[in-house]
Chain A
Amino acid sequence: MKKERHTVCFLCSLGCGLTVNRGEDRVYYQPVATNELEYQLDNPINRGSLCGKSNYLFELLSHPKRILGPQILTSSGHRDEHWEKITSYIIEQIAELVEKYGAESIGIMLSPCLTVEETDQAISLARLIGTPHIDYCSLEDKPVLAKILRGSFFQRRLPGIEEIERMHTSFIVGDLFGVSPVLSKHFLKAKYDQRANKLIVLESSNSHTGWFADTHLRTNPGTEVMILTGILKLLFERTGEPQTLPWKETVKKALDSIDIADICKVTGVSLDQIQCAAELMMREKPSVLTLVSGFGIYDRADLVTDLCQALADATDSYFLPVFTGANSLGIHEAIAKFKPITGMTASEMVEAAEQGSLKVLLNFGVDIIRTFPGTRASNAIRQLNFLLSTAIFPNDTTAISHVVLPELPWIEKAGSTINMFGTRLKLDVVLPPPGQIKTTGEILSILIDGLKEKGFQGKSIPSPEATIQESENDFIAHVMEIRDLITSYLALGFEENQRILVPNVDFAHSGDGTITQYLSWSRRMSPEPFAIIAKGENGARDSEIVRIRSGEIETSIPVKVGQRAEKGMIVAPVHFPQIRSLLQWEMLPKLGYLNIKPAKVTVEFL
C-alpha cells in the first residue's frame, strides 16, 4: 500500500511542492527510489515543475557525509557525544559565560532554512537569556529584506502567481531564470500565451533571463541603481508626474540634481533604451517589477531595493522581491517584530566577535566562514569562547565549533514557512529523521527548559515601538548617495589587465551552495570553479589558466570563452569559496550589513 506524502523544496524561496509516493513497508534508510518521487501537477506554485537541484533533493537524506549525531570538540578533533550530556554541557557553558560576561555577549544566528516555529523558539531563547542580538544570516537577501520591511513610505504590493501570468509588462532586475527557473513558467506564459507581455531585463551579463528580453538593459556591472534612477527621472520628465507616488515634489526635486547624460555614460546604456523601458512601464499595465537578490551583483543592493520600490510605486506596479533563502521572509518578519534597536545584525556580530565583545555564538544552520567573503569572519569566530553550530553537513564553521549538532532538512521536519509571495506553506514530516536526531525546535526547547532550571527568568527586552519609518528626507539622501556613486563610477579608471568580476548565481547552485554542493547534480553541472571571459579578449582559449587578483587575495582558475561575459568583464560562479573571497565588501554602518559589490580585479594569463 503506497502513501502519498507532500513536502516543500527548501533550496530557494519559491517553495515548490513535491510528493513522495512510498510504500508503508519500506523502511526509512532505504533511499528514496526514483519511482517514488512524484511531481505535483496540481500545485498552484510550481505545477509539477522542479529545477535540476530539486529533482535531486532526496539525495541529501541518505548522503554518507551527513551529520547524524551531536559532536564535541576535543584536542584531537570532534568526538561523538550523547544528547543528554551535550545539552547539559551547552546549558552550563551559556550559564557560566552569561554570569562572567553578561547576557549581551551572546549572539544568536539563524539560517533561512529554519521554520517559522523554530524562529519563534529561538526568539524565546533570546528573551530568556536577555540578549537583543539575534539575526538571521543570508547576506544575499539581507539588504533587500531589511529595506522592504523597514516601513518605507512606498506601498508594498505582492502579486500572486496568476497575476504574474496576466501581466502586460514584466521588469526583471537580475538573472531570475537562473536563480529560480521554475518562475520562468509563469513569466513566459504571460509573454507567449496571454497578451504578448513585454519583458524588460536589467542585468549586466548576458544571462539566461536576458535571452528572453524584449528590452535588455545591459548595464555595466554595479550600475543597476543608476539605470533605475534614470527610468524614474524619465517618468517625471516625459510622461508627466506619476500620480501614485507620494511626495512627488520632493522626489522630483531630488532627481533634478542627477544628469541623465551621466547615467547613460556610466552605465553604457543608450537613452533610447532607458526611455523605452520607462514608457513600457508607464503605458503597458498591469506590470510587475521583480528584484532578484544577488550576492555581489549590485553595488549598494539597499539603494537598488529603494529605487525598485519607488519605480513600482510610480508606475503602479506589483513588486516581487525574490530571495535565495527558503524562509527568508518568515524569519525576517519574526525577528523584525522582536528586535530591539540595540540588537546587532549578523554582520555586526562577526565584527563584535573580531573586537572581542561577543563571546558566545549560537549558530543555527549558518556556514559563517563560507557566507562572509574573505578571511575576516573565519579569524573573528575563532576568538569566540563558545561556538555552537547546527548543520546538515560538515562545513568550515562546524570544523571549528565547540559543539556541533545535526540539523534536519525540511523533508524530515514539521512546521510552516513563508515563501516569496508571502504565502504560508505547511510542512509535514515526509520521512522520519534517522536515528536519534532531534529537530532544532526540540533542541531549543531543551535549552530553554535547562536554562530556566538554572535560574534564568528572562529579561524584558523592549521591542521597538514602531518599525523604523523612512521619510521623504531619507529618500532624498538616497538619491544624493546615488549621485555620488555616479560621480565615483565616472572617475573609475581601468588599466589594460583590469576587469570587473561579475558573480553568477547559476542553475547548478543557489545562494552560497552550502547544501547544494552535496547534490550529485550540482557537481555534474559545475564540478570546479571557472571564469567566463568574452571572445577575442587577449586571444584567450578555453581551459587556459588565468590568475585573478583582488586586493591581497588571488586565485588561479581555468577560463571558458563565452558570450555570457561582455568585454571588460569576467563572470564566475559565486558559490565556489575561492571566487566568493575575491568579492569586495564594506560595512554600511547606518544599516549594519555588508555592501558586497562586483570587484575590480587584475587578470593575468599564465
Chain B
Amino acid sequence: MEKNKNNKRIVLDLDLCIGCQSCVAACALGYSEQANVMLGQVGEIAILPLHCRHCEQPACVEACPTEALDKDEHGFVHRSNLICIGCHSCVFACPFGAISMDLMRHVTAKCDLCIDRVLEGKIPRCVATCTSGALSFKEIAEASAEEVWVGGRISSRAIIRRM
C-alpha cells in the first residue's frame, strides 16, 4: 500500500437511505452553498445520493483540457477551482454521473471527499450527518468484502419495490 494513500471511500447502503437529503445539506453548508453530492432519482420516490468514487484511473482527469482535475498523493481526485473553465468535459466523462451539469461561480460541483476533515482524521460531512446510517466511510477492501451480503439484502428488498 502506498504511503499516505487514503483507501477509504464513501459507501452507500441502498437499503438504509431514506432520501432525507441531509447529506446534501451538510455538503452545501460546507462548500458555500454548492452541494457536491449529486442526487440520483430512481422512479419518483427513491432519491439517493451519488458520490464521486475517486476512481483508480479517473476518466474526468483524462478528459479535463486545462488539467484542473488531478489525482493527488492521498488518492483524492480534486479540482483546482482557479484553473477550471467550466467546460463540462468532466461531466460527460464521468461514468457514474457524479459531477453535476450546474455551474456555480464558473465551476462544476466536484466532491473532494472533505479533504480538510479526512486529513485531520475525521469522516466526511455527509457521512457524519447521515440520518439513517446509510452512508459510511470504509476501507475499499472492507466494503467490497461486504458486497455479497449487501447485494443479498438488496435483492430481498430492492429499491424498485419501494415505488
Write the residues of chain A forming the contact surface with B, with a CB cutoff of 8 angstroms: 34-35, 37, 39, 41, 48-56, 177, 181-182, 184-185, 188-189, 192, 206, 208, 211-212, 507, 520-521, 524-525, 562-564
User: Among the listed stretches B50-58, B93-101, B125-133, which one makes contact with chain A, having 4 or more residues with CB under 8 Å of it?
Assistant: B125-133
The count of chain B contact residues (Cβ–Cβ below 8 Å) is 33
Query: Which 6 interchain pairs have the tightest Cβ spacing?
Result: A52-B25, A39-B128, A181-B131, A181-B20, A211-B162, A55-B25
A52 with B19: CB separation less than 8 A: no
Question: B132 contacts which of A35, A50, A184 (Cβ < 8 Å)?
Answer: A184
**Chain A-chain B contacts (Cβ-Cβ < 8 Å), number:** 93
- Extra pairs beyond A35-B30, A212-B162 (13, CB < 8 Å): A34-B32, A35-B116, A39-B125, A52-B25, A53-B25, A177-B20, A181-B18, A181-B132, A188-B16, A211-B18, A212-B18, A562-B45, A563-B43
B22 with A55: CB separation less than 8 A: yes
A51 with B22: CB separation less than 8 A: yes
Is B145 at the interface (CB under 8 A from chain A)?
no
A35 CB contacts on chain B under 8 angstroms: 30, 116-117
Question: B44 contacts which of A55, A188, A212, A562 (Cβ < 8 Å)?
Answer: A562
Give bound CA distance, A575 to B28, whole Å: 23
B43 CB contacts on chain A under 8 angstroms: 563
A507 CB contacts on chain B under 8 angstroms: 20-21
CB distance from B34 to the nearest CB of A (A): 12
A52 with B132: CB separation less than 8 A: no
B29 with A51: CB separation less than 8 A: no
Is B111 at the interface (CB under 8 A from chain A)?
no
Beyond A184-B131, A189-B133, A192-B15, whether A211 also contacts B46 by CB under 8 A is yes
- Closest-by-CB residue of A relative to B131 is A181
Give bound CA distance, A145 to B15, whole Å: 34
Q: Which of B1-53 contact A (CB under 8 A)?
A: 15-16, 18-22, 24-26, 28-33, 43-46
B128 with A185: CB separation less than 8 A: no
Give bound CA distance, A208 to B21, whole Å: 12
Is B163 at the interface (CB under 8 A from chain A)?
yes
A563 with B25: CB separation less than 8 A: no
Is B153 at the interface (CB under 8 A from chain A)?
yes
Chain B residues touching A, majority SS: loop
A182 CB contacts on chain B under 8 angstroms: 131
Beyond A185-B132, A208-B18, A507-B21, whether A50 also contacts B44 by CB under 8 A is no
- Closest-by-CB residue of A relative to B116 is A35
Give bound CA distance, A504 to B18, whole Å: 16
B25 CB contacts on chain A under 8 angstroms: 51-53, 55-56, 521
Give bound CA distance, A208 to B130, whole Å: 15
A185 with B131: CB separation less than 8 A: yes
- 11 residue pairs of the A-B complex, CB under 8 angstroms, read A48-B129, A49-B129, A50-B22, A50-B131, A52-B21, A53-B25, A181-B131, A185-B131, A185-B133, A206-B45, A563-B43
B129 with A525: CB separation less than 8 A: no
Q: Which of B75-114 contact A (CB under 8 A)?
A: none
CB distance from B140 to the nearest CB of A (A): 22
Give bound CA distance, A585 to B147, whole Å: 52
A39 with B16: CB separation less than 8 A: no
